[in-house]
Amino acid sequence: MKPLYNLVTKIAEKALPLAGRFNPKLKLFIEGRKSVFAKLEAEIDPASDYLWFHAASLGEFEQALPIIEEVKNEFSKYKILITFFSPSGYENKKNHPLADVITYLPLDTPNNAKRFLELVNPKIAFFIKYEIWPNFLTELNKRNIKSILVSGAFRENQVYFKAYGGFMRKALSNFDHFFVQNEASMNLLQSIGLNNITLSGDTRFDRVSRQIQYNNTLNFAEEFINNKTCLVAGSTWPEDEEILFPFINKTSAEIKIIIAPHEIKEEKIKALEQKIKKRSIRYSNIENQDLANFDVLILDTIGLLGKVYSYANIAYVGGAAGNTGLHNILEPATFGIPIIIGENYKNFPEAIRLRQLAGLFSVENSLEFSEVTEKLIANKKYREKTGMISGHFINSNTGATKTVIKYLRSLPGFS
Residues recognised as catalytic: 60
Task: Give, as one character, the DSSP assignment of residue 103.
Answer: E
Whether 297 and 224 have beta carbons less than 8 Å apart is answered as yes
293 class by beta-carbon count within 10 Å (0-12 exposed, 13-18 middle, 19+ buried)? exposed
Mapped onto helix, strand or coil, the DSSP state of residue 88 is: helix
Question: SS in 3 state form for 265-323?
Answer: CHHHHHHHHHHCCCCEEEHHHCCCCCHHHCCEEECCCCCCHHHHHHHCCEEEECCCCCC
Cα-only R_g, the chain: 23
The closest of 107, 79, 105, 72 to 90, measured between CA atoms, is 105
Q: How many whole angstroms separate alpha carbon 376 and alpha carbon 110? A: 55
Q: What angle do CA 388, 201, 329 make, to 5 degrees?
A: 45
Instruction: Strands of 38-123 (E only): list them.
Output: 50-55, 79-84, 101-104
Q: How many whole angstroms separate alpha carbon 158 and alpha carbon 171? A: 14
The closest of 138, 209, 202, 148 to 170, measured between CA atoms, is 138
Q: What angle do CA 114, 180, 63 make, to 5 degrees?
A: 70
- Sorted by sequence, the CB contacts under 8 Å of residue 242 that are 6+ apart come out as 321, 366
Beta strand 255-261 with 79-84 is unpaired
- Sorted by sequence, the CB contacts under 8 Å of residue 127 that are 6+ apart come out as 54, 133, 147, 148, 149, 150, 175
